[in-house]
Structure 1
């Protein structure tokens, strides 16, 4: 394998199972977006919009950073992911197609609302407005879900008057990868719950189909293995 002189390598424990090792990149994103970018601190209330792979990993990352409460959102077809979010430590997992989010966040946080809101929902142009609704004054909003060029309309006066800060997340820096490896190694049982499918190298198409939702059981993290 050719390694460019500028690349950064992150060693992983020799006994870390491959199904966990492949989560390093996704977890590094979760650490970057839900912890490092907003500066999540001990006692913070965190709302994660979206319960995909990175959203679920952000539950563990935010709790590990000291978040007092974590609320995760999803859609009606995400019940298996919302259930898993609770198992991973989320204080509330909300089906936003059938439940109003703001009252739940208010209840879980004792009326304080969210210090950090991370938007992990791709294509949803209304998610930033939702983030503003559930954020506490002075809170931090992190946009990590790309909208593919679709315009997002938010009254910037509201951001200014309420002292909200707006950050973005695209990838992860080296420090986030280091923390991701440490988290994976230290919380193997938790992350093993995200592993759902394994495919041989000659069936990459099957792995992609599983991620598209074309599998008997819902996919979250899929491994393509050479063994």
Structure 2
């Protein structure tokens, strides 16, 4: 194994530099991953635009175990050569949240107070905490999952987004047969949630988006959504009422970025005693939000974030089944030297019509 790694380091706002970083000596409870492919997430784009410190971005990571200590091998049940998917979390493993399965909320996974894959500065030893790199450090507290070798790389890169879909649709909202689900936002997360809702047995899945996302709306239909609504030209409330015969939606999820209008319309299209899930940061104060609708409809409103160990397992089984044409979601796959273009494309500032954008470090 080479003792150095070529890594794409974000060194400024929308600025990347390829650097050669030393591979660390591996303790018995740690390891090294040879990165196969990394999905570019909206969080990566946000970090790139709001630069804070030099770091290796990328946390939807799939790769092969290149080197592993004996203790880590026994604890994780993996060996050199195994193909694994990584979770972004590096939890403490000891707090109440970790002990009850909510390690994604552990303070140690918050980059402001701890470390996390794809969001940790390179001055934190041993620097290799991001997927846009030939190799990545397997921290003793990392959360890893074995995945089958037959899964195409571009589909394996979808495991974490799909796991969010199963967590939010199945575990949190309890989506099941006969239900109507509205998903606001046809990005990577929205499409994954549409897949998860159909897999859970939802009778009707409606995906919304704007004219600027028309290609993604078309893709939603190919992936199994029953209806798509272009909110740039259609009234969402009227359209959902028409589709459902006035019944409205059992579950509504907002995963749109920036605007607050989808939150308002999500409350409007939910039926009485429905569930509204909020899965995207807005970074804005709400103006003229009618909170009484929550009371009047007796709605359940929940914030959703991340995935659980179980939902990642569900996603791996789902992706490995090959029942859905997931590879059509991949629009761009770049080599390591084009990481800057990959991030710009995923953020709508690079090549046109991005869907799932990936980086393959050895391409």
TM-score by length of 2: 0.60
The corresponding residue for 2:252 is 117
Contact 1:24–1:177 (CA under 8 A) maintained in structure 2: yes
Q: 1:124 to 1:34 in 2, by over 3 A?
A: farther
1:220 to 355, 359, 362: 355
Structure 1's 169 and 134: CA in aligned 2 closer, same or farther, altered over 3 A? same
Out of 44, 52, 57, the position equivalent to 2:192 is 57
Asked whether the equivalents of residues 154 and 358 of structure 2 are also in contact (C-alpha less than 8 Å), the reply is: yes
Deviation by residue 1:207-227 (Cα, 9 ceiling, x = unmatched): 112212344541111121113
> In the alignment, which residue of structure 2 is the partner of 1:132?
267
Cα-Cα RMSD: 1.6
For 1:205, which of 340, 345, 358 is the aligned residue? 340
More strand by share: 2
SS where residue 182 of structure 2 aligns? strand
Larger radius of gyration: 2
User: 1:52 deviation in Å?
Assistant: 0.6
Tell me the equivalent position of 1:148.
283
- Distance in 2 between residues matched to 1:16 and 1:217, nearest whole Å: 27
Aligned to 1:15: 150
Asked if 1:177 is matched to 2:312, the reply is yes
Q: Does 43-52 or 210-219 show the bigger shift? A: 210-219
Secondary structure at the residue paired with 1:10? strand
Quote the Cα distance in structure 1 between the aligned partners of 2:226 and 2:248. Answer: 14
Cα deviation digits, residues 66-86 of structure 1 (max 9, x gap): 000001110111111111111
Uncovered stretches (5+) of structure 1, i.e. residues with no partner: none
2:303 to 168, 192, 214: 168
On the 8 A contact 1:126/1:152 being kept in 2, the answer is: no
CA deviation after TM superposition for structure 1 residue 104, in Å:
1.5
Q: Given that residues 128 and 152 in structure 1 are in contact (C-alpha distance below 8 angstroms), is that contact kept between their aligned partners in structure 2?
A: no
Q: Does 1:71 align with 2:206?
A: yes
Count of residue correspondences: 227
TM-score, scaled relative to structure 1: 0.93
Q: Does 1:36 align with 2:171?
A: yes
- 8 Å CA contact 1:71–1:94 kept in 2: the answer is yes
Divergent runs of 4+, >6 A? none
Q: 1:207 to 1:111 in 2, by over 3 A?
A: same
Paired residues of 1:94 and 1:101 also in contact (CA < 8 A) = yes
Offset from partner CA, 1:124-152 (integer Å, 9 cap, x none): 11222101110010100000011124336
Greater fraction of residues in helix = 1
Q: Distance in 2 between matches of 1:189 and 1:135?
A: 28
